[in-house]
Structure 1
């Protein structure tokens, strides 16, 4: 059984590419239910999904019976003939998002593509774990204020820093993750905690060691609601510590102990 088929079976979903306007309309409403965006700033329109699908790009859904419980939209990217950019993936059933990503991986490999990229908020711990451990992708660029101001319920009031995740589809990390075993990097005892939480707020430390751990809050979305000042402090601290190290050429090798594992050359 292929990895995507095994993941779909475990999640209890059927995965398939979408081509009909009625399906794109269902995806639009699914995303609306997940993110509650400003009506003028939806993640992707029905018309755009139609155009992307017709032009040979990736639009797929996960179904639990007749119910759409997840969807993913991606388009061919540079380097031409090598990469797919995953614009948006969302799911409301446990395991459906993972199954969709493995379906996307198989789709890309079948077309001779070797990488899939996407952006994600580096502050969201569950997404960082999913992308780095469950999938075996790696952040390779820190992008400050990538989308500008955002008006959806999840991101409103925060700055839109993102990291570019690069999923090298046949890398050892990706192959480990596709087998169903989350990828965990080796963390030496000498690793330094370069950013930690103290009473819910970030505290940065001077870290000269080769391997540095950059801790994240357990639930930044809850922090945004309860203490916007603390959420702002976390945004700036992760930008300075993680973004600063990446700007200097350090590599994020995985996610462990509640944070990023970052290695200097």
Structure 2
């Protein structure tokens, strides 16, 4: 492990290591269940796949607290072009465990000569976008419409599973800017109350807003959540499909997109 990943693990109060035993995979499965509360037919990753990925040289790792309790886990498989695709990562919140896991994952890839890590995330979840793009320095490579189909769990609430594909080089460039002073940029998609508002603005760089808390909004106002999904799909997905590149994420929770 690098000094950076060791420091992140120490700050989170965890030890991160690969998992190899059935009881460890079972612990990871229970952790994922506690996070997502999935329908039994829609678990994030089945036990047999964790075992298979680990045996075949994939990435299956866990973060353990000082008492030996599993408080984070991540599962990924080897993909084309010297890539690890990180399929699922889940942790108990608020301690920096996810950051420690991602740095361990990057070290693991570097040791094996891999060049990048990819994973998907919901473009509507503002905190995940900020973590992935600003803190880690991943880049959105593709907008994936309804990538997993309808997902039956407590977090996704049956919403369409649009995703951004994050691409994280093992030796990353500078993280995406948080874009101080972005107030001067034109806002193509804004938030008005709980609803999205598409504006007729244009520019070389435009801003695309996200809702403050899409998971809470799905429960409180499903219709508004569906409007956000459709608006971000149309605006952000449309811009990226036309060759636009996400170059930053603002402190207000907006994607900054350089228009092609």
TM-score normalised by length of structure 2: 0.94
Match of 1:73 in 2: 75
Tell me whether 1:229 sits opposite 2:223 in the alignment: yes
Which of 212, 217, 236 in structure 2 is aligned with 1:218?
A: 212
Moved more, 182-191 or 2-11: 182-191
Aligned length: 256
Alignment of 1:235-254 (within 5 A): 235-254=229-248
Secondary structure of the corresponding residue to residue 40 of structure 2: coil
Alignment of 1:21-32 (within 5 A): 21-32=22-33
Match of 1:206 in 2: 200
Q: Deviations over 1:9-29 (max 9, x none)?
A: 111111100101110000000
Q: Deviations over 1:49-108 (max 9, x none)?
A: 1111011110000011211000000111011xx211000000004210110000001100
Match of 2:57 in 1: 56
Secondary structure of the corresponding residue to residue 173 of structure 1: coil
Alignment of 1:1-265 (within 5 A): 2-65=3-66, 66-79=68-81, 82-93=82-93, 94-173=95-174, 183-185=177-179, 190-256=184-250, 257-265=252-260
Q: Distance in 1 between matches of 2:131 and 2:36?
A: 18
Q: Is the 8 A contact 2:115 2:170 kept in 1?
A: yes
Q: Distance in 1 between matches of 2:37 and 2:54?
A: 24
Moved more, 25-34 or 247-256: 247-256
- CA drift at 1:170: 1.5
Any gaps of 5 or more consecutive residues in structure 2? none
Q: Is the 8 A contact 2:189 2:208 kept in 1?
A: yes
Secondary structure of the corresponding residue to residue 174 of structure 2: helix
Q: Distance in 1 between matches of 2:236 and 2:200?
A: 13
Moved more, 112-121 or 190-199: 190-199
- CA drift at 1:185: 4.6
Q: Is the 8 A contact 1:190 1:209 kept in 2?
A: no
Aligned in 2, Cα 1:188/1:255: closer, same or farther, shift over 3 Å?
A: closer
What root-mean-square deviation, in Å, do the aligned CA atoms of Structure 1 and Structure 2 show?
1.5
- CA drift at 1:30: 0.2
Any gaps of 5 or more consecutive residues in structure 1? 175-181
